Structure 1
Amino acid sequence: MVDAIKQKVTELVGLSSFPTKKLGKNGPQVTQMGFGLMGLSAFYGKPKPDEERYAMLDHVYNSGELFWDSADMYQDSEDLIGRWFKRNPGAREKIFLATKFANYVDPKTGERSVRNEPEYIQQACDKSLSRLGIDYIDLYYCHRVDANQPIEITVKEMKKLQDAGKVKYLGLSEVSAETLRRACKVAHIDAIQMEYSPFSMEVETEGVLQACRELGVALVAYSPLGRGFLTGSIRSRSDFGEGDFRSFAPRFSEENFHKNLELVDKLKALADKKGCTTGQLVLAFLLNSGDDVFPIPGTTKIKNFDENMGATKIRLTEEEDKEIRHAIDNAEVKGGRYPEAFSKALLVDTVPLSEYKGPHSA
């Protein structure tokens, strides 16, 4: 009985303990720090047993973290969430759930492609709704845009999903500032998801964050901890387990690894001075960059999740923010974010509608 009371108190405290912000000019209030679910299912080694993953989701939910981010390409992520919803009646209505489409793997050949065709968008959405076992998706992203199809065609089709009630809010990922501006002329884009961390500042240097602010679009920062590198816990390539995609990422190569540790160590020194962990300092820095920035760190460990969420209580002074930016500005980050074959899908400009001669041209 005592344990049950303690659990209930934890739930009540958690549900009001994290700051919320408005997701873009038209969106709802959501937890400013979201939770990325990719690592529970894909790309960071073999997934843990279901019961362990359910326990992780239980903890995240009970803590009050209610902004969850998934994608149809994250192996069984959508299925896992769907099963968890069935185990937790009433939870779905409290969670603001984001998922994504466009990264396609041919089941016969294993070949990867980016698919934005209107027919595929409809099929992908219906499949995600089925896997999740829900009637609507809160935030639906085009995970990667096809440079050969005008963004206007893609967004027009996504707007149909919104009009049909299958999707509440629209999102894009890894688009250029110009692509975002064009998209918003078709329908308001509520959020864009971009890699944003001390290792990846392109959203600032390429004008994407500025465009978001001009248009009232939220910026959801994925990999805010540099895929774990910026926590300081990864000190060598031997820390990666079998099947961990970071083993193939240029930033983590034998040639670049030790060079990139220099920025990690500079940030650790600043974190030690602040009295927090390196990861918390980085997350606090991103939260401090604006009420329209929503980091979504992911983890498979409850301890790490609690540490990450602790960043919401850290307040940086103007001087501390300047020190962090100075460390970033004076660091030379080595290696790309992804292997070269995937890099062409980043910060994409799509073909102008006026030049398009494809099957869905006006």
Structure 2
Amino acid sequence: MPSSTQVTIAGRKVGTLGFGLMNYTWRATNTPDEQAFAGIHTAIANGTNLLNSADFYGTQDPYDNLHLLNRYFTKYPADAAKVVLSIKGGVIPHQLKPDGSPENIRRSIDNILEKLDGKAKLDVFTVARVDRTVDIEDTWRTVKEYIDAGKVGGLGLSEVSAATVRHALEIVPVAYLELEVSLWATEIYENGVAEVCREHGIPIVAYSPLGRGFLTGQLKSPDDIPEGDMRRRFDRFKPENFAKNLALVEAVEKIAKKKGVTPAQLALAWVIQYGVKKGVRVIPIFGATKQEQVVENLKAVDIKLTEEDFADIDALLKSIKPAGGRYNQHAENTLYQ
């Protein structure tokens, strides 16, 4: 069984956990630099060196994620050599519509490289979603041009099917798959995606491992979600589903209390260690806007789940199914393409 701590992406070793930067610049109010920098620096200092961003995480210059990264590496230039930087793109700005045309892929990568301004390397460019209106091979070959030119370290794929992975491997090596994996998103173990990753040794980067904050137990009603927060548009957070999904959260809280850990720590530990049990390397990329949240989540790597713990969680997942889709009906159509 592979070790959960020995994972290589684009030729570089990464830690057991990754850190997602979306929430710093893709909320109603951006996180101040001082606060964001403290979280990022704490993560890196503790070995969480896979940083995950996107060129559409906030699209108003200079308040987007890429400018944030530029400012961070300007202040902490030594950290640039420590991180593996993965950035998604390949969508139409402001519309979040997939556009895998060679023209848009070039625009996206060039935009990322321009805003990073040489402060850090683009280790992985991830195609955010499959665009079925273009020849998908053209999308991958365009990214490969940048890889061959030494401007990008590798190709990442997001929310793709097992068949798409096999197809992509005929064109270009795949650095990793980025997929939603958590206690309420376990589809990769049922649809063949985890299996193809096991076969080819492809790591899985698990976004939203805390169910967009739901699994932490901090949200008790839809009213706890701030106005303007994108979660208000997602099915699982709608009032008709929220109360049903609280049953899952409350059950997770009971197991966590029995274990002597927080629900967030339990959720992260499960994503890591269940992947190991299944023979795949799964790296949860958690997001946290406060430094104390980063510190809490980092402790998940020290938690050892027993067979009894796995049995309790397995029974829970079989008895309580999430109500509602991960996104909304329109966005759901872009998943596992």
Aligned match of 1:67? 50
- Alignment-mate amino acid for residue 345 of structure 1: T
CA distance, structure 2, for counterparts of residue 260 and residue 171 of structure 1: 31
CA distance, structure 2, for counterparts of residue 288 and residue 111 of structure 1: 36
Correspondence for 1:41 among 15, 25, 30: 25
Aligned-pair CA distance for 1:339: 1.6
Correspondence for 1:89 among 77, 97, 100: 77
Aligned-pair CA distance for 1:256: 0.3
CA distance, structure 2, for counterparts of residue 111 and residue 296 of structure 1: 24
Q: Deviations over 1:48-106 (max 9, x none)?
A: 2222222332333333321110000101011100111111122211111110111223x
Aligned match of 2:315? 326
CA distance, structure 2, for counterparts of residue 273 and residue 58 of structure 1: 32
CA distance, structure 2, for counterparts of residue 239 and residue 309 of structure 1: 25
Correspondence for 1:116 among 100, 120, 123: 100
Q: Are positions 1:104 and 2:92 aligned together?
A: yes
Name the % identity: 38
**How many residues were matched structurally?**
324
User: Secondary structure of the residue that 1:68 maps to in structure 2?
Assistant: strand
User: Secondary structure of the residue that 2:88 maps to in structure 1?
Assistant: strand
Aligned match of 2:270? 285
Q: Are positions 1:300 and 2:283 aligned together?
A: no
Distance 1:202 1:150, change over 3 A: farther
Distance 1:271 1:112, change over 3 A: closer
Distance 1:22 1:242, change over 3 A: same
- Alignment-mate amino acid for residue 155 of structure 1: W
CA RMSD of aligned residues (A): 1.6
Aligned match of 1:356? none
Q: Deviations over 1:222-267 (max 9, x none)?
A: 0000000001111111111122111111100110001001111111
Aligned match of 1:169? 154
Question: Which runs of no fewer than 5 residues in structure 2 stay unpaired?
Answer: 59-63
- 1:173, 1:193 within 8 Å by CA — same for their partners in 2? yes
CA distance, structure 1, for counterparts of residue 135 and residue 247 of structure 2: 41
Aligned match of 2:190? 205
Q: Are positions 1:237 and 2:226 aligned together?
A: no
Larger Rg: 1
User: Secondary structure of the residue that 1:312 maps to in structure 2?
Assistant: helix
CA distance, structure 1, for counterparts of residue 253 and residue 16 of structure 2: 24
Q: 131-140 or 237-246, which moves further after superposition?
A: 131-140
Q: Are positions 1:336 and 2:325 aligned together?
A: yes
CA distance, structure 2, for counterparts of residue 336 and residue 259 of structure 1: 13
CA distance, structure 2, for counterparts of residue 190 and residue 212 of structure 1: 11
CA distance, structure 1, for counterparts of residue 191 and residue 168 of structure 2: 17
Aligned-pair CA distance for 1:149: 2.5
CA distance, structure 2, for counterparts of residue 34 and residue 304 of structure 1: 14
- Alignment-mate amino acid for residue 167 of structure 1: V
CA distance, structure 2, for counterparts of residue 221 and residue 112 of structure 1: 20
Q: 253-262 or 314-323, which moves further after superposition?
A: 314-323
- 1:71, 1:101 within 8 Å by CA — same for their partners in 2? yes
Q: Are positions 1:345 and 2:334 aligned together?
A: yes
CA distance, structure 1, for counterparts of residue 210 and residue 96 of structure 2: 26
Aligned match of 2:61? none
Q: Deviations over 1:118-143 (max 9, x none)?
A: 12212211110111222631111001
- Alignment-mate amino acid for residue 315 of structure 2: H
Correspondence for 1:50 among 33, 51, 67: 33
- 2:36, 2:290 within 8 Å by CA — same for their partners in 1? no
- Alignment-mate amino acid for residue 145 of structure 2: K
Aligned match of 1:352? none
Q: Deviations over 1:167-195 (max 9, x none)?
A: 11210000011011100111111101000
Q: Are positions 1:129 and 2:117 aligned together?
A: no
User: Secondary structure of the residue that 1:267 maps to in structure 2?
Assistant: helix
- 1:103, 1:112 within 8 Å by CA — same for their partners in 2? yes
User: Secondary structure of the residue that 2:311 maps to in structure 1?
Assistant: helix
| Superposition TM-score, scaled by structure 1 size | 0.86
Aligned-pair CA distance for 1:27: 3.6
